[in-house]
Amino acid sequence: MKFICPKNNILKEIVLALDFTSQRNSLSIVSNVFLETSENRLVIKATDQKIGFTTSIEVETVESGTTTVFCDKFLGILRALPDEDIIFEEIGEKLFIHPQNKSIDFSLRTIKADKFPTLEEPVNKFFTVAQKDLFEMIDQTIFAISDDETRYFMNGVYMEQGERALTMVATDGRRLSMISRNLDKDIPEFNPIIIPAKFLSLIEKGGNREGEVSLAVTDTLLFASFGSVLMYTTLVKGQFPNYKRVIPAMQSRTCSVDIKKMNEALKRVSLLVENKAKRIYLDIENDFITISSEESDFGQAKEIIPCSYSGESVRLAMNYSYLVSPLKVMDGDTCDIRFTESNKAITVVSNPEKDYLHVIMPMQLD
């Protein structure tokens, strides 16, 4: 095989392909990227057998053919080459790589393409979602995914279909994030699924928040397609917790606070948080919140910021990162912190309220 193409055209595709390969064993075929050129197109494939990736770009095909090369080294070479047309030519069991106008030569060992695994193909009908909508839904949930592999059914974002709406939920047992977005279009019926965290990150990496992304759901797979890119993942098996039981039906107290001021105060106070639980205290009184760390060998941090609140004074204890993560992705200038008692669930919502919410379980007060 032999083809010619601009460096940057192939580079951006190989950057994405690398995340779909397995880098544990450089001699494994799933550590390689698949290349096939014919009729001035280059098809690129990658898989670690749990996730898969396919795309194609325009090239100048000199000689049709297929091969595979170790993706990590291939990407390193591409990044090091000058920004110009690059010639790729397989001779024997090596792929030779050199710029057209420079005396630079690389060669990589190849593995025959017939050893490359067959990638999954969608059989169900695709439905489209605006990239902006899907990416906002991912942003509002992905940080709440559990990393506890013994509770594998929480190692992803739960997605279910409603009437012209999609709902996505993530929880690690100590916090929960949910968003339910009306898409104003019919969505094919599918059983609820659990999407691995890595795949959601790859969707965001491959997209640009413009246009649409097409999705197709089967019993075991989720496909996502935008432009020439098609990617898929195997789904997380298991029964996701009943998230509706976690969301408080009603909370009697509401504290409204400026998102930027709260985030900045949390960032400063957290500098002196020494415990592994990352515990901070919120003392909420009329018109102000005192944010403080516990007294430690190094000292203590405390900051007072204004708020809108009427009611009895209350002290809440929580993991500060559980509050910082949702505040970072909230729209608007103000959020509401809702609660009933210091030992019951706390809900954080945007003000005015949007289509998402975040539930935080408080920590014990010492």
pLDDT (tens digit per residue) in 237-260: 999 999 999 999 999 999 999 999
On whether the CB atoms of residues 345 and 359 are closer than 8 A, the answer is yes
The whole-number pLDDT of residue 23 equals: 77
The whole-number pLDDT of residue 124 equals: 85
Q: What tokens were used for 195?
A: 């999407």
Q: Which domains does the chain have, with CATH numbers?
A: 2-115 (3.10.150.10), 127-244 (3.10.150.10), 249-360 (3.10.150.10)
Share of the chain above pLDDT 70, in %: 100
The whole-number pLDDT of residue 197 equals: 96
Q: Determine if the peptide bond prior to 82 is cis (ω within 30°).
A: no
Kindly report which listed range (23-32, 67-76, 120-129) carries the lowest average pLDDT score. Answer: 23-32
- What pTM was computed for the model? 0.92
On whether the CB atoms of residues 333 and 308 are closer than 8 A, the answer is no
Give the chain's mean pLDDT. Answer: 94
Mean pLDDT score, 281-299: 92
Distance CA 41, CA 35 (A): 10
The whole-number pLDDT of residue 102 equals: 85
